[in-house]
Structure 1
Amino acid sequence: MSITAAMVKELREITGAGMMECKKALVETEGNIEVAVENLRKSGAAKAAKKSGRVAADGIIKVITSDDNKTAYIAEINSETDFVAKDSNFLKFADTLIQAAMDNNVGSVESLMACEVDGKSIEQARTDLVAKIGENIQLRRIQKITLDEGQVGCYLHGKNIGVVVAATGADEELIKDIAMHVAASNPQFIDADEVPAEILDKEKEILVAQAQDSGKPAEIIEKMVEGRVRKYLAEITLKGQNFVKDPDVTVAKLLKNNNADVLSFVRFEVGEGIEKAEDNFAEEVMSQARGN
């Protein structure tokens, strides 16, 4: 049976596979498109499994809020390269994924990947995208933030940093300003009361050791440590930091002036905590030349 261009085109539209792969699949199945689709998807799954071990440290952060501003989702979807992170197919997948989280009210990676969109699970859509693009694509993490009182707001800094803030007494503009501050200043906690005792004790131990090297009397050292602890807490807490849009006031003062408070915040940055392998282009070329 002759394989026509129209058949190849149809198979490409269904699977997203390359033209030559589609033609080969049709030849092998003697023009049976249904079997060709199944074979290509099996092949794609195998390729995806092979690529799943490769480091995906680039990608995009996506956020979405409900119409009543009571619920928000924030997710990190990873690719191996910035080039793919800008690809329209990858961006469409990321949009589909975050919308599916909201539509299905799920807040875990496993639950979301099992959700179906247009008759296909998110995991199958991911596998198909890996086969089509040729890079490892992963939903690394997703978090749901929901409130009974107050509201949520979000801020995206490009594609690499996303923040969701939950607050009471704050309007949409103030919440966005706080989220922007969190994106820029990366606080670890809301206030000093949230800082775990073990973190504070460890920092005090380091500060005492540094101060003792000065040779000053014990009472002076104690005051030095107290001052440095206050500075440390101001640096790592949201309310202790100077507001990025007006450094003359702290975030705590800004909130107080607006009769508002922050209940929680979540900040995702693409690739944080992932050890990204350094590319060795020469070695890659030699490896390909050796047929590895």
Structure 2
Amino acid sequence: MAEVTAALVKALREQTGAGMMDCKRALDETNGDIEQAVDLLRKKGLSAAAKKSGRVAAEGLVGIASAPQIAAMIEVNSETDFVARNESFQSFVEAVTQVALAVGDNLDTIRAAAMPGTGHTVADEMTHLIATIGENMSLRRAKVLRVKSGVVATYMHSALRPGLGKIGVLAAIEAPSESEALELLGRQVGMHIAAARPAALDIDAVDPAALERERAVLMEQARASGKPDAIIEKMVEGRVRKYYEEVVLLEQVWVHDGESRVRVVVKKAGGELAGFERFQLGEGIDKPAEA
């Protein structure tokens, strides 16, 4: 059994908004498993923010680079935001993003690739930069999207400078041809993704484990109503449909008009959303608590 520490209770409270003692009891009942504790608090109606994603807990930059029918996005982490504003660090992230555009999104391949204009590999250049700046860094993740015809649109929320920021989005839209209208639509899709934070492109792409976890919570909530099983099943199915509207990109309401579905907007424009990626700096990384 995991020790239920004050730090663990605090983390659960921050994630759910539930009371301190409720968090302590939930962790005791789940042997210190914070995800199970979140579910338990939701079932009891005590969680105020149960779907809240991992807190941003690392610094650095997200970088984006693009070319016709292709775009790349990477995340490079540093220890402090001060380094993210360093000219040398920013130039490094821009260069590595271009490398990813050329070689793909396998991290080992990127690290082993030649760093333009240096005579070093990307990994060696990062080691040199760490020694120069005096702060640890890591290439955390990368994604490259391609289309045969159409656009891979990019969007960087609150960019520090073109292609660099803390929330980046790629949106691949297959279409008969590239056009300014399609580029504009792609940017709007990117803005939507940045704001709405979808977890899957379509219903078939929803993580089965996440769906079952959600269904179990919804079932417990519905049973609390005391209604017959047949009614409970219908309640759960209705709430699952609502869940899809929250987490599936194509089923979400278009943030730009508050009415249309994303799939309808893209189809009307003559395109088809083939894929997307959203990087938020440091998302899901635990940052050590300050003493």
Whether these two folds match at TM > 0.5 is: yes
**Inter-partner Cα distance in structure 2 for 1:233 and 1:259:** 24
Per-residue deviation, 1:157: 0.9
1:142 counterpart SS class: strand
1:187 counterpart SS class: coil
2:282 counterpart SS class: coil
Amino acid corresponding to residue 98 of structure 1 in structure 2: T
**Inter-partner Cα distance in structure 2 for 1:224 and 1:166:** 35
**Residue by residue, what CA displacement relative to the aligned partner does 1:127-150 show, whole Å, maximum 9, x if unpaired?**
111111110011111122122233
Per-residue deviation, 1:266: 0.8
Counterpart of 1:63? 64
Counterpart of 1:17? none
The change in CA–CA distance for 1:123 and 1:201 in structure 2 (over 3 A counts) is closer
2:287 counterpart SS class: coil
The change in CA–CA distance for 1:198 and 1:258 in structure 2 (over 3 A counts) is same
Counterpart of 2:122? 122
Q: Does 1:252 align with 2:263?
A: yes
Counterpart of 2:47? none
Which range moves more in the overlay, 192-201 or 229-238?
192-201
**Inter-partner Cα distance in structure 1 for 2:199 and 2:148:** 24
Contact map agreement 2:168 2:280 (CA 8 A) in 1: yes
Determine which structure has the larger helix proportion and give its number.
1
Amino acid corresponding to residue 61 of structure 2 in structure 1: I
Q: Does 1:147 align with 2:147?
A: yes
Counterpart of 1:137? 137
Question: What TM-score results when the alignment is normalised by the length of structure 1?
Answer: 0.71
Counterpart of 1:98? 97
Task: Report 1:204-283 matches (<5 A).
Answer: 204-280=215-291
Per-residue deviation, 1:208: 1.7
Counterpart of 2:76? 77
**Inter-partner Cα distance in structure 1 for 2:273 and 2:210:** 22
The change in CA–CA distance for 1:193 and 1:73 in structure 2 (over 3 A counts) is same
- % identical aligned pairs: 38
2:172 counterpart SS class: strand
Per-residue deviation, 1:202: 3.1
Counterpart of 1:8? none
Per-residue deviation, 1:193: 2.4
1:206 counterpart SS class: helix
Amino acid corresponding to residue 172 of structure 1 in structure 2: E
Match of 1:107 among 102, 105, 108: 105
Task: Report 1:192-203 matches (<5 A).
Answer: 192-203=203-214
**Inter-partner Cα distance in structure 2 for 1:247 and 1:229:** 21
**Inter-partner Cα distance in structure 1 for 2:60 and 2:239:** 38
Counterpart of 1:86? 85
The change in CA–CA distance for 1:89 and 1:197 in structure 2 (over 3 A counts) is closer
Gaps of at least 5 residues in structure 1 are 1-55, 281-292
**Inter-partner Cα distance in structure 2 for 1:265 and 1:242:** 17
Match of 2:174 among 168, 188, 199: 168
Per-residue deviation, 1:196: 3.9
Per-residue deviation, 1:166: 0.7
1:259 counterpart SS class: coil
Gaps of at least 5 residues in structure 2 are 1-56, 159-164, 176-180
The change in CA–CA distance for 1:278 and 1:200 in structure 2 (over 3 A counts) is closer
- Cα RMSD of the aligned pairs, angstroms, is 1.7
Contact map agreement 2:104 2:143 (CA 8 A) in 1: no
Per-residue deviation, 1:274: 0.8
**Residue by residue, what CA displacement relative to the aligned partner does 1:202-248 show, whole Å, maximum 9, x if unpaired?**
32222122111111122322221121111111001011111111112
Amino acid corresponding to residue 71 of structure 2 in structure 1: A
**Inter-partner Cα distance in structure 1 for 2:228 and 2:278:** 42
Question: What TM-score results when the alignment is normalised by the length of structure 2?
Answer: 0.72
**Inter-partner Cα distance in structure 1 for 2:229 and 2:123:** 61
2:250 counterpart SS class: coil
**Residue by residue, what CA displacement relative to the aligned partner does 1:43-81 show, whole Å, maximum 9, x if unpaired?**
xxxxxxxxxxxxx92111111111x2x111110011101
- Misfit runs of 4+, over 6 Å: none
The change in CA–CA distance for 1:232 and 1:110 in structure 2 (over 3 A counts) is same
